[in-house]
Amino acid sequence: MNPTGYPFREHELYRSLVDAADRIRRPEYHLRNLVQDDRRWSRFSRRGGGLLFDFTRQRIDEPILELLLRVAGDLEILPRFRATTRGEPVNVTEKRPALHTAARDFSGQALMVDGTDVVRRLEQVRDQFRRFSADVRSGRITGSTGRAFQDVVVIGIGGSHLGTEFVATALAPFSDGKIRLHFLSNVDIHNFGLIASRVDPETTLWIVISKSYTTVETLANASQAVAWMKAGGVDPAGHLVTVTSEGSPGDSRDTPVLATFHMFDFIGGRYSVTSAVGGVPLSIHLGYDLFEEFLRGAEKMDRHAAGAPAEQNLPLLAALISVWNTTFLGYQHQAIIPYAAPLSRLPAHIQQLNMESNGKSATADGRLLAEPAGVVIFGEPGTNAQHSFFQLAHQGRPFPIDFIGIRRPFYDQYEARYQGVTNHQELWANLLAQATALAAGQPAPEDPARHFPGNRPSSLIVLESLDPASLGSLLSFYEARTIMEGYLWGINPFDQFGVQLGKTVAGRIRQTIARSNADPGRQLEFDDPLVRVHLERLFGR
Amino acid sequence: MNPTGYPFREHELYRSLVDAADRIRRPEYHLRNLVQDDRRWSRFSRRGGGLLFDFTRQRIDEPILELLLRVAGDLEILPRFRATTRGEPVNVTEKRPALHTAARDFSGQALMVDGTDVVRRLEQVRDQFRRFSADVRSGRITGSTGRAFQDVVVIGIGGSHLGTEFVATALAPFSDGKIRLHFLSNVDIHNFGLIASRVDPETTLWIVISKSYTTVETLANASQAVAWMKAGGVDPAGHLVTVTSEGSPGDSRDTPVLATFHMFDFIGGRYSVTSAVGGVPLSIHLGYDLFEEFLRGAEKMDRHAAGAPAEQNLPLLAALISVWNTTFLGYQHQAIIPYAAPLSRLPAHIQQLNMESNGKSATADGRLLAEPAGVVIFGEPGTNAQHSFFQLAHQGRPFPIDFIGIRRPFYDQYEARYQGVTNHQELWANLLAQATALAAGQPAPEDPARHFPGNRPSSLIVLESLDPASLGSLLSFYEARTIMEGYLWGINPFDQFGVQLGKTVAGRIRQTIARSNADPGRQLEFDDPLVRVHLERLFGR
């Protein structure tokens, strides 16, 4: 197996796929016609890992699926995914493994990396926050003045924020409301100020999450929190918890805290919600047992992703469709539309997961791609999105959609009917109607304002319910799909060198401001005149 | 003036603009070079209507701006915008005016439409909810059991939801916390269930917002709410308010309510937050005075948009840049990145406003466009977005960005410094760094993983602070820009026929389910087999 792989564009079947894309654009292959095939459902839907995946309304047919699967086979996408879960150093540019799957590996089997059993290490951390969260929830562990904690503020950004927010929002119906969760992610002081106005220093626990413990936003927010706690008469050491790497500045006597939970460099931020990053806050907020159910759901899909043959493999099929839509059919964006209000933050989490993983222009072996990889991901829940941007979906620029549906709702006691159906039935009527209408359209060339061209592709992912295990399956599905997409594009989905330049320039601007703060007589000098003009307006004297 | 206008593509300068786009793609016109011009700031930044608009980092130069302004002049964009605010029937397909600006017209001048002074009518409604909101806030108006209201649930979707949510979130620091606001937009029963689990029927007021009072989601949610109130022992008539058209089913004795506030067919949903749609819930939540400040900020920008000459007109310049980026430079999506945590829902609101207004394929006079109008709008607050999808912005597919910055924060009392700067300074260092790094890049062709091509365009919009008036200016800026974009594309930005087909199909599926509900022995028959297979899985017996 080639450790870095190569882009599917370099595969000998690339030309055949381009030809197939030309073919599928012909009017007789309009989705309206493709879906007429009696075998459409049996050939283009699959079950696995806890989910149902319906891709009957994608612009593919059997010859195209076969070509895509042959490319996936030759590029060894599944063997490379299995190598990923076995701890091989697939993050080639940073020379380390990518082992988020180990965070939910309950197989009991060891997984050795550099002489350490990482499954065991992750289990120890899990045990640690299982006990800690129980103690916080029961009031055995209290704040410095002896009062039980009622609010938890997660200080973390990007990978240390969005996954936990997505899961907490999704599982809100399961929360007993005992301990509220807040997210202090943005260095914008409005984020801090608003939280500070709503919580009591005596009953608030702050969880600072940063692998290196040098993330500027997170440390700046932690400083504000510490100053505020001191002003509020509590001892920060009794109100702080850190989630960080072993030996980081957050894992030191210089940072006195209630507890420190370790995270590891073999789990990247955007893949970390099943580690202590999500585990500590979610266990405190929801109770550890629900968090473990979530992990077990993810594990179920992990096994499917690593074990199911290509033809039956949900994440692989989804990855192939994504690449097909982007590179061959030219769609530059994809929407994620969960027909489930609690999944309101899923699009933002997958936006991060996918765009940060695959928004690249360099191959894993260091060459420039012919065209950039990755797509723009966006979305809002349905039916809301129908009343917002679906006008453009139907009649403007088309984009592929992942519809997500929930078979059984958490709240089944509300059964008032409007127009003869329950809310849950109305929701499904709308989901199915949108997928159908986008695919089939309704041509009216004589009346362009009411002309629906159709041929808009979509998939439908169905969860049995919005319970923690189903949510874990859904998360793992998107993680595996993202990684397989990256492997198809021939890039490394685990690095993110693209965020460096902005940090470097921000550092230079920060130094300029800091020098002016330290010496108020000093001019705000900066080489870029367009930056300087703003700095003078903002902070000049 | 031609009442329907025509697309800028049909203007004689279209070819010159295509040539100019070819020119600006040449290496010597890389943004890195364009921003070196000493006159960049003076030529490509403007103040007006309460905002500062910096477009120095857009891929234009003076000849291009001049061409764009000539097209705007010939297409009479500003005269058409002024005609809009004067009540002419610019919504040509639906034969009515588009008068959201009248909702914040404090000029004292009458504006007659069909023999009615609409400014006066809107003022009467405003007076009505000014008094009503004061009475709810003071406890003079209570629920049916005599207890004061503590929670308000807005039942409304799309235009009856997102604008109010955006404003309420943005002005959260101004809330006195007396009355909490919830949004029941989604027909998903999880939305209702979660709210019902958190509020007390005795102290909750429900505001049902629907122009026609036939919006399925809204009426279905209202039914659930009424059933729940009855089960909770309160009289729905004492807990319901409607915002609807005069004479609609919600403005009738058949719907007994505490109060009804009128909305009008000359204000479309996505433009309605400054009408009673936003006014009723926001006045109860924040107090009427803050809502009026918000209106006065919008009015200020309305006057600028209608009155400032083209060369100085912020919304027009922004609209021209948007069209330039989309049609001539080929960007299919735009991000809105507010460096302000409270503006977290601005992108979703503008996504609706812009995509529903301009995601069209038909001209206002009923012809098919050569290419669809509109773009995909998405975004999350900065600095969060830097840690999420900016990898793709820097190294993947480029997209134009609107950065939004706030000069003075609401919370100025938190001054702990990290690395020598306050949080607010750190925030600005990052905003300016991103705009700079995206524009200039940092070429490293020998190391593709660390190669930053730059040439990524952005604008920067600066608000003095996050007060209601500034927020009003920002809203009006985006509204006017959206309308002017629509006029440039030659479409009608006020209709939305593209949402009809999905509603029709949903109605057919609903009837199928309703028939099965009414007669459980009956098969779930539906002509589309891909719909039927799901219906049987979901609701079959």
Q: List alpha helices for B246-397, DSSP H.
A: 276-286, 288-307, 314-323, 346-358, 390-395
Q: Name the residue in chain A with its Cα closest to that of B44.
A: A530
Distance of CA A1 to the CA centre of its chain: 28
State how far the alpha carbon of A141 is from the alpha carbons of A127, A136, A144, A156, B164, in Å.
16, 5, 10, 23, 40
DSSP A418: B
A234 touching B, CB under 8 A? no
Place of tokens 């199909």: B505
Residue A522: pLDDT band (50, 70, 90) is confident
Strands A401-408 and A376-378: unpaired
Q: How far apart are CA A206 and CA A236, in angstroms?
A: 9
B434 touching A, CB under 8 A? yes
pLDDT given at position A536: 94
B19 in Cβ contact with B63 (< 8 Å): no
CA-nearest of B78, B77, B58 to B334 is: B58
The catalytic residue among B10, B62, B66, B503 is B503
- What crossing angle do the helices spanning A529-539 and A500-518 adopt, rounded to 10°? 40
> Which residues of chain B make contact with A348, given a CB cutoff of 8 A?
380, 388
CA-nearest of B351, B348, B456, B465 to B405 is: B465
| Residue B217 falls in the annotated catalytic set | no
Whether B5 has a pLDDT exceeding 90, the answer reads no
CA-nearest of A310, A319, A160, A314 to A241 is: A160
pLDDT given at position A381: 98
Whether B92 has a pLDDT exceeding 90, the answer reads yes
Q: Name the residue in chain A with its Cα closest to that of B160.
A: A387
Strands B51-54 and B45-48: antiparallel
Interface of A with B in 82-141 (CB under 8 A): 93
Residue B347, classed as helix, strand or coil, is helix
B520 touching A, CB under 8 A? no
State how far the alpha carbon of A212 is from the alpha carbons of A54, A104, A126, A251, B205, in Å.
41, 23, 20, 10, 48
A260 touching B, CB under 8 A? no
Helix/strand/coil (H/E/C) assignment for every residue in A223-292: HHHHHHHHHCCCCHHHCEEEEEECCCCCCCCCCCCCEEEEECCCCCHHHCCCCHHHHHHHHHHHCHHHHH
Fold equal for B8-98+308-495 and B105-292: yes
Name A207's bridge partners.
A154, A241
Q: How far apart are CA B509 and CA B122, in angstroms?
A: 39
> Which residues of chain A make contact with B358, given a CB cutoff of 8 A?
392, 396
pLDDT > 70 in chain B, percent: 100
A191 touching B, CB under 8 A? yes
Whether A1 has a pLDDT exceeding 80, the answer reads no
A527 touching B, CB under 8 A? no
Residue B385, classed as helix, strand or coil, is helix
Name A402's bridge partners.
A336, A459
Q: What angle do CA B370, B375, B376 make, to 5 degrees?
A: 140
Amino acid at B346: L
pLDDT given at position A4: 81
| The CATH classification of domain B8-98+308-495, taken from the options 3.40.50.1000, 2.40.50.140, 3.40.50.2300, 3.40.50.10490 | 3.40.50.10490
B522 touching A, CB under 8 A? no
> Which residues of chain B make contact with A397, given a CB cutoff of 8 A?
332, 359, 372, 374-376
State pLDDT tens for residues B372-386: 999 999 999 999 999
Amino acid at B62: E
Whether B2 has a pLDDT exceeding 90, the answer reads no
Q: Is the peptide bond before B363 cis (omega within 30 degrees of 0)?
A: no
pLDDT > 90 in chain A, percent: 96
Cβ distance of B513 and A159 shorter than 8 Å: no
> Which residues of chain B make contact with A504, given a CB cutoff of 8 A?
433, 437
The catalytic residue among B202, B217, B299, B356 is B356
Q: List alpha helices for A365-445, DSSP H.
A: 390-395, 423-440
Amino acid at A88: E
Q: How far apart are CA A184 and CA A170, in angstroms?
A: 19
Alpha-carbon distance B107 to nearest alpha carbon in chain A (angstroms): 32
pLDDT given at position A46: 98
Average pLDDT, chain A: 96
State pLDDT tens for residues B279-337: 999 999 999 999 999 999 999 999 999 999 999 999 999 999 999 999 999 999 999 99
Q: How far apart are CA A480 and CA A488, in angstroms?
A: 12
pLDDT given at position A163: 98
B519 touching A, CB under 8 A? no
Interface of B with A in 369-388 (CB under 8 A): 369, 372-378, 380-384, 386-388
Q: Name the residue in chain A with its Cα closest to that of B173.
A: A194
pLDDT given at position B521: 83
Q: How many CB pairs under 8 A join A and B?
A: 524
Mean pLDDT of B239-251: 97
- What crossing angle do the helices spanning A468-489 and A77-85 adopt, rounded to 10°? 120
pLDDT given at position A420: 97
Q: How far apart are CA B210 and CA B241, in angstroms?
A: 11
**Residue A455: how many other CB atoms lie within 10 Å:** 21
Q: How far apart are CA B58 and CA A172, in angstroms?
A: 42
Cβ distance of A356 and B395 shorter than 8 Å: no
Alpha-carbon distance A74 to nearest alpha carbon in chain B (angstroms): 25
ipTM of the complex: 0.97
Cβ distance of B224 and A423 shorter than 8 Å: yes
B470 touching A, CB under 8 A? no
CA-nearest of B174, B269, B177 to B470 is: B174
For chain B, give every domain's residue range.
Answer: 8-98+308-495, 105-292, 507-539
Cβ distance of B506 and A433 shorter than 8 Å: yes
Cβ distance of B57 and A500 shorter than 8 Å: no
B57 touching A, CB under 8 A? yes
Q: How far apart are CA B102 and CA B276, in angstroms?
A: 12
Mean pLDDT of B4-17: 92
Which pair of structure tokens corresponds to residue B447? 């190391």
Average pLDDT, chain B: 96
Q: Which of A220, A374, A426 sits opposite B423 (nearest CB)?
A: A220
Q: How far apart are CA A525 and CA A529, in angstroms?
A: 9
B214 touching A, CB under 8 A? no
B536 touching A, CB under 8 A? no
State pLDDT tens for residues A389-443: 999 999 999 999 999 999 999 999 999 999 999 999 999 999 999 999 999 999 9
| The CATH classification of domain B105-292, taken from the options 3.40.50.10490, 3.40.640.10, 3.40.50.620, 3.40.50.300 | 3.40.50.10490
| Residue B88 falls in the annotated catalytic set | no
Q: How far apart are CA A534 and CA B53, in angstroms?
A: 12
Residue B350, classed as helix, strand or coil, is helix
Cβ distance of B433 and A377 shorter than 8 Å: no
Q: What single string gives the DSSP state of each residue in A313-349?
A: -HHHHHHHHHHIIIIIT---EEEEEESSGGGTTHHHH
B12 touching A, CB under 8 A? no
Mean pLDDT of A70-74: 97
State pLDDT tens for residues A179-236: 999 999 999 999 999 999 999 999 999 999 999 999 999 999 999 999 999 999 999 9
Place of tokens 């005149």: A529
Q: Which of A93, A158, A437 sits opposite B505 (nearest CB)?
A: A437
Strand segments (E) across A367-483: 376-378, 401-408, 458-465
Q: Name the residue in chain A with its Cα closest to that of B224.
A: A416
Residue A108 region, left (φ>0) first, then alpha (ψ -120 to 50), else beta? Answer: left
Which pair of structure tokens corresponds to residue A57? 């309304």
Alpha-carbon distance B529 to nearest alpha carbon in chain A (angstroms): 8
A180 touching B, CB under 8 A? no
> Which residues of chain A make contact with B392, given a CB cutoff of 8 A?
355-356, 358-360, 372, 374, 376, 498
Q: Which of B395, B428, B430 sits opposite A360 (nearest CB)?
A: B395
> Which residues of chain A make contact with B168, given a CB cutoff of 8 A?
none
State pLDDT tens for residues B139-160: 999 999 999 999 999 999 999 9
Which residues of A are the active-site residues? 356, 387, 503
Q: What angle do CA B480, B483, B485 make, to 5 degrees?
A: 105
State pLDDT tens for residues B395-438: 999 999 999 999 999 999 999 999 999 999 999 999 999 999 99
Mean pLDDT of B250-265: 95
> Which residues of chain B make contact with A420, given a CB cutoff of 8 A?
510-511, 513-515, 517-518
